[in-house]
Amino acid sequence: MSNKKIAFQVLEPEPLLIVISGPSGVGKDTVVDHMKSRGLPFHFVITATTRPPRDEETHGVDYFFFSKDEFAEMIENDELLEYAFVYNDFKGIPKSQVREALASGKDVVMRLDVQGAATIRELCPEAVLIFLSTESEDELVNRLKARKTEKMDELKLRIATARKEFNRISEFDYVILNRDDQLDETVNAIKAIIYAEHHRVDQKKVTL
């Protein structure tokens, strides 16, 4: 019997880029806000947008709110990791924010619409993409109506877009059912995914 010792090395986990996505009304903002309230040790990316803030939203906390001229300047200066024109407004992710967070060793969590998630997958195949879903299309429509934040024509556009976005689940790595009044269960599922990803034999190394 050989007494030769087997050498092994436990590597420090690489910081992950986690994208939380899904159709409008599925609860992306609510889920991310709940993750923040639980003090989870992630860097939560703040999205830049040209839409006006809602009553409960704060600049630099919920979103960075910019004029269309300011946003155009950011595009021209190549300051955005990705951006898209969604529901008559621009949304984008400041590039420096993500790079600095990854460099610090923190896992980075960003909320994106389905179009934005597809762009990140192209730029960074190592990103972990999570699709939030409702139990049915009717439930999603009811959530959108209950928000009362859109005019009727805007609401119809969001519903039509959501129907198409549900057909893109196969582009994601994971899908989580975000049930009403079960935020802890949704966040626990996200935490479990991140935990499992950190214990892969082949660690994902994010490069941007």
Q: Point out the residues that are catalytic.
A: 54, 147, 158
Residue identified by tokens 């409008």 is 24
Tell me, what DSSP letter sits at residue 50? S
Please, where are the H alpha helices in 49-125?
A: 68-76, 95-103, 114-123
Instruction: Beginning with the edge strand found earlier in the chain, give each strand of the sheet holding 128-133 in spatial order.
Output: 42-44, 107-111, 17-21, 128-133, 174-177
The encoded tokens of residue 26 equal 């599925």
- Dihedral pair phi/psi, residue 9, rounded to 5°: -140, 130
